[in-house]
């Protein structure tokens, strides 16, 4: 039944497409042509507005992505600095411990 419903929908869509094509093919007067042209220009303006909105959204997303990448690099650098400092502290602690062990074994 799902396949039947799908096929019926495809037939309806095909009929609608044929009707639209027939509508454009049946333009016979200047008035009809002017109306069709007015409709097409309206569609063109609408698509241009939508394109502009999408372009703006894309540019904002790219800027946001660049900002996030910059923040990520800064955080990675900060983590690397903290790790280096931590490793240095471990080395100092190990050296102090070794000195204590050496000092107590001399006594």
**What's CA 11's distance to the chain center, in Å?**
35
Q: Within 13 Å of residue 89, how many CA atoms lie on the same side as its CB?
A: 6
User: Is residue 36 pLDDT above 80, yes or no?
Assistant: yes
Q: Domain extents for the chain?
A: 2-106
Question: pLDDT tens digits, residue range 43-84?
Answer: 999 999 999 999 999 999 999 999 999 999 999 999 999 999
Task: Give the whole-number percent of the chain exceeding pLDDT 90.
Answer: 55
In whole angstroms, give the CA distance from residue 39 to residue 41: 5
Q: Work out the number of other CB atoms within 10 angstroms of the CB of residue 27.
A: 14
């Amino acid at each position: 039944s799902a396949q039947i419903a799908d096929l019926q929908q495809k037939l309806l869509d095909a009929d609608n497409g044929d009707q639209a094509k027939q509508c454009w093919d049946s333009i016979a007067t200047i008035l009809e042509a002017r109306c069709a042209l007015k409709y097409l220009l309206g569609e063109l303006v609408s698509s241009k507005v939508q394109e502009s909105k999408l372009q703006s959204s894309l540019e904002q997303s790219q800027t946001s992505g660049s900002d996030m990448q910059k923040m990520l690099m800064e955080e990675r650098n900060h983590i690397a600095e903290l790790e280096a400092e931590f490793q240095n502290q471990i080395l100092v602690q190990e050296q102090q411990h070794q000195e204590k062990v050496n000092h107590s074994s001399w006594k």
